[in-house]
Structure 1
């Protein structure tokens, strides 16, 4: 058997890859986080699939389900919100599976930041304005950030910032980032990107915290910061330059 770690995407059921849907239809067991993954996505599973919601389970209990499926010779669709390469606990789960000798693979998904950018209709890398995107998070009731990964160090580069797991600290983060980007720097917050209840807030570092607090957002939102987020004009790319040597 194989445990298929599957990126469930940002929330819309039609943003899963074809490979993801194939795994969901073929796997007798589906393990998912009900906090983030709804019935529309789970509808891709076949009738009779054993459904396991991990919302109230710890790592040991989750691994026990995967081991039990292996014993029965059943493939598992292990759904992760967004893409498994970001904040999915893939590393710790796969390490346990390796120790048990259980096969696993990964199917990528649409990450939340990409869905948010699509909703905003922006390119996060604009020539001569921002050519790097930093994906990071805030530290609150979570594991410590590595010493070298301070938000101030990322902000000093002027890159487009995408902050995950940070919505409850918007005011503190905006105050810190203002010293690097200025109070008028464009900011967008996208809650439940691509889902029916999607909410988009746009503003600046000077006013975004007030908007977030007024909306009562507590989770499942990404914060995007930088001139590119506001469609600030930059240079044109060399990609389609008529004078570029295409030989």
Structure 2
């Protein structure tokens, strides 16, 4: 990790994942960078204010919920070129639906180096809160992260129909506004009683997390008026028998560090 923007070094901007919400789910690297920030540019509509509060008292805090990407990048570039330690704080993991590529390109064009720090994603926090494994031996071994098409659309090769056809553990972000269409498409591929975990503001103090049958996915979402910060985890793993066992730890399984029976 580059310790500071030294005069003789290429200025660096840190793009940091804040995780799903709870401050104690930050990585140590993320926490240290926030605590050393001179400028904190944070997604205040999605990031827990308690996380932004970890920045030092003299840190300039810039909220981005009302700004365009161009406005955000202009402020980041200006302050980083002035030699200040700029931390761009994203909810979850910056590599997921975070406009990361656009930001890195703009920073590179300005002659700035970038360090990206990963963050825990909501699907991981949801599975942990449910005490559920999403990859059950003999049942499902694939996790798909996706979203409904919505206004911005998705490539045809990644349509919800194609994703659902895998019948994997399907984690859907940014899809609550289209939940009726999502449920209808999922029912073409998954059995009606497939469990769906609906998570709202997972790991926040007001977290709401419930497992419902696929047929109730839309109804429950509308009853709770869920529109934003909602995650759906559609998976047969959520109903798996507790007797399911991984071969990796079986006495009959031989591998490099343990002989088998």
Question: TM-score, normalized by length of structure 1?
Answer: 0.96
Partner of 2:8: none
Partner of 2:218: 209
* Greater shift in the superposed pair: 48-57 or 229-238: 229-238
Partner of 2:69: 59
1:224 aligns with 2:257: no
**1:85 Cα deviation from its structure 2 partner:** 1.2
**Deviations 1:109-147 (Å, cap 9, x if unpaired)?**
1101101111111111101111001100111122x2112
Of 20, 34, 44, the residue aligned with 1:10 is 20
Which runs of structure 2 are paired with 1:154-173 in the superposition (5 Å)? 154-173=163-182
Tell me the secondary structure at the aligned position of residue 193 of structure 1: coil
Which runs of structure 2 are paired with 1:81-230 in the superposition (5 Å)? 81-142=91-152, 144-230=153-239
**Contact kept in structure 2, 1:201 and 1:211, CA below 8 Å:** no
Q: How many residues matched?
A: 246
1:237 aligns with 2:246: yes
| CA shift in 2, pair 1:223/1:43, >3 Å | same
**Deviations 1:168-209 (Å, cap 9, x if unpaired)?**
211211111111112111111000000001011221111121
**1:158 Cα deviation from its structure 2 partner:** 1.4
Tell me how far apart the structure 2 counterparts of residues 28 and 55 of structure 1 sit (CA, whole Å): 20
**Contact kept in structure 1, 2:198 and 2:211, CA below 8 Å:** yes
**Deviations 1:218-239 (Å, cap 9, x if unpaired)?**
1101001021123445741111
**Contact kept in structure 1, 2:42 and 2:89, CA below 8 Å:** yes
Tell me how far apart the structure 2 counterparts of residues 186 and 232 of structure 1 sit (CA, whole Å): 13
Partner of 2:3: none
Which runs of structure 2 are paired with 1:61-76 in the superposition (5 Å)? 61-76=71-86
Structure 2 residue runs without a partner (length 5+): 1-10
Aligned-pair Cα RMSD in Å: 1.3
Tell me how far apart the structure 2 counterparts of residues 187 and 222 of structure 1 sit (CA, whole Å): 10
Tell me how far apart the structure 2 counterparts of residues 39 and 210 of structure 1 sit (CA, whole Å): 31
1:22 aligns with 2:32: yes
Of 39, 57, 61, the residue aligned with 1:47 is 57
**Contact kept in structure 2, 1:155 and 1:180, CA below 8 Å:** yes
Tell me how far apart the structure 2 counterparts of residues 211 and 186 of structure 1 sit (CA, whole Å): 13
* Greater shift in the superposed pair: 89-98 or 67-76: 67-76
